[in-house]
Amino acid sequence: MMLSSKGFILVTTLVLMLILSCISLSMLVQTQLSQKLAGSATLSFQLRQQTQSKHGQELRLLQQSGAESSLFVIAPCPANYAAWSDLKVICEWHQVRTTERSSHHQHSVTSVLVRQSLPEGGWDGAL
């Protein structure tokens, strides 16, 4: 009788240890997944900040006419359609696109800028 109760206690103890091990393992996996998710969000935010900062630098360079961008020259400017405008203004449309990539994330920022100028010869002042 004594041997069967010792066997029962041993089996019960082993089953309880197995259950506690499974619970502990699942908690560890959940914690690790939570840390990975939080790290991914942090990396995505850092990438977005880095892209926007780089894009701002490119825009400042473009305003100083030092950056390369795709350039579109359109003869009549949208301002020429205004009733009070009789000038022939040339518009340069600059598109600046900045893209940053990491192993699992990509972030892009695009801006379109318009630079207006008078055609060669300028304006004679007559309205």
Lowest mean pLDDT across 4-8, 11-15, 18-22: 4-8
Q: Over 90: is that where the pLDDT of 15 sits? A: yes
Domain boundaries, the chain: 2-117
Q: Would you place residue 59 in the very low, low, confident or very high pLDDT band (cuts 50, 70, 90)?
A: confident
How many Cα neighbours within 13 Å face the side chain of 51? Answer: 20
Dist CA 114 CA 56 (whole Å): 16
Give residue-wise pLDDT tens across range 72-110.
555 556 655 555 555 666 677 777 788 888 777 788 888
| Averaged confidence pLDDT in the chain | 76
Residue with tokens 């502990």: 24
Q: What is the pLDDT of residue 61?
A: 78
